[in-house]
Amino acid sequence: MEAILGIIIFLIIILSFIKLRIGIAIYLAYLMLVPYMQIHFAGLTFSYNLVNLIILLAFFFEFKVKHNYKINFKPFIPFFILYAGYFILMLFSEGTPFDYMIDKYRQNIMQIFILAFVMWNIILCTPSSIKLFRNVCFICIFIATIYGLFLIRMEGVNPYIMSLMNITGNEYDIEYLTRDTGRMFGRIASVFLHPMTFGLYLGLSSIFICSYFKKRANIYILLILLVITLINVFTCGVRSVIAGLGITGLFYLLLLRKLKAFIWSAVFIGIIYCIISSIPELSDYVMSIGDTKSTNIGGSSLELRINQLLGCFDVINNNFLSGKGFNWHYYYLQSHTSHPQLLYFESLIFVILCDFGLVGAILWIIYSYKMFHYTYNLGKLKQTLFPLSLFIFYLSYSCITGEYGYMQIFILFYIIMIGEIYVTQTSKSQ
């Protein structure tokens, strides 16, 4: 398998210099379907940093050397504000080695922003590319969700991820994934290393698919894909995605302010509730989301999460303003199995408070406002509603589960969705 992955990576690099948008499209598919990049091929070792750097070089070669296109950074300004704030806070942090913070900071920027940045500028210069990127996402969603359904009866076994584990030498934790956790089908990760990442992907995919229904193109294909995705939402074993989509749905209706839509949504929720109530195992699983105490369903309860929030203030007692340092929570878990109060830092709120303190929390509020403001003003409300919903889901899901590289997936969907707005406006103006 490593040889196959090596060939794909090599093909991505070659095509990026020959036909940039094709190379980027394949790279997009790779990142959505292959959760691993430490490939030894032809005497070379391809890592995320190396491949992203080569992609960036191919981009500048295409845009500045060959054509001298104008480069646009505008959608990334909120992210730049956030990461500039991170860098300043690192100078005042004492809980994490500075060289460790710098290295993780660099890796974050490389992995999160480069592909999205390149995709955005390709869309601006070649609007037809949006169709290519959109279709790649649809194909990846179909593959991931069909494979997710295939794993329902596998009792924690995931042949694809297990084969990747053989390459990495990491241990496959089947006990964490099996049905004895109280979930109907165990925890299903599909093409991802962790079920939580698959849950995020399902939520983002659901919103992404819904955003194309009004365009009336291939509506039956979209409907089938949405149904498959929503089935995975209930079978993947990640309750947080249900809660995240529920919060996002409320937000959507709040902005829409249409009585008819609200009534139909209420009817739909009523039907779903009746279906869930008729299946005892499913009912226990879904209703455990709002349980304030521990249930027979594995995972953290609401009461435990509140205690963890209070524990954050104990952690930053001596670093209240700037926190313990960039990526401190991960640095801590590398040398400890878990934190005595915060366990695995199962909320973006816990991560922000522990890593960046009170200033970091304010920084995230500013970042969220900038994201909302920029997206809201891209076009009419009916155009921006779904990208806004996408951001709300990312925030709500991360606040419920933690932040485990989720921004990298979110920003790819986000760029494509706002790219659609740009292409639509451009075509109308012409």
Secondary structure, 3-state, 7-58: HHHHHHHHHHHHCHHHHHHHHHHHHHHCCCCEEEECCEEEEHHHHHHHHHHH
The alpha-helical segments, DSSP class H, found in 288-429 are 302-315, 328-335, 348-376, 381-401, 406-429
Burial label, 257 (beta-carbon count in 10 A; 0-12, 13-18, 19+): exposed
pLDDT tens string for the chain (430 positions)? 888 999 999 999 999 999 999 999 999 999 999 998 888 887 888 889 999 999 999 999 999 888 889 999 999 999 999 999 999 999 998 889 999 999 999 999 999 999 999 999 999 999 999 999 999 999 999 999 999 999 998 888 999 999 998 887 788 888 888 765 556 678 899 999 999 999 999 999 999 999 998 765 688 899 999 999 999 998 998 888 988 998 898 888 888 876 666 676 667 666 765 665 555 555 555 554 444 344 444 455 667 778 888 889 999 988 899 999 999 999 999 888 888 888 888 899 999 999 999 999 999 999 999 999 999 999 888 889 999 999 999 999 999 888 888 999 999 999 999 999 999 887 776 5
CA atoms within 13 A on the CB side of 228: 21
